[in-house]
Amino acid sequence: MKPAVDRLEVQLDQELIFVRLEVQSHVGKILYSKYDAKRVPTFIIFDQSGAIRYRTNGVPAYASINYMLVDN
């Protein structure tokens, strides 16, 4: 999955800030639980006010994220 996530990060570099967390780290465990992540990777996109705008478990398709960014 890492190569797919890396490609997605490169494709959306100008649109989003990517933050990767190690789920075994202290902070990773807290956020994994807080946001009820079910799989690794879990993608959550927040708007400027901190509200969740997009969420998916597993690697999302570039088109899905791009559509969400253009649509809103």
Judge whether residue 20 has pLDDT over 60. yes
Q: What φ, ψ does residue 55 adopt, rounded to 5°? A: -150, 135
Residue 25: pLDDT band (50, 70, 90) is very high
Do the beta carbons of residue 56 and residue 42 sit within 8 Å?
yes
CA neighbours closer than 13 Å in the CB half-sphere of residue 24? 0
Tens of pLDDT, residues 26-68? 999 999 999 998 888 888 888 889 899 888 888 888 888 877 7
Give the number of domains in the chain. Answer: 1
pLDDT band, very low/low/confident/very high, at 69 (cuts 50, 70, 90): confident
Helix (H, G, I), strand (E, B) or coil at 33: helix
Supply the pTM of this predicted model: 0.73
* Domain span at 31: 2-71
pLDDT of res. 30: 95
* Under 8 Å between Cβ of 67 and 52: no
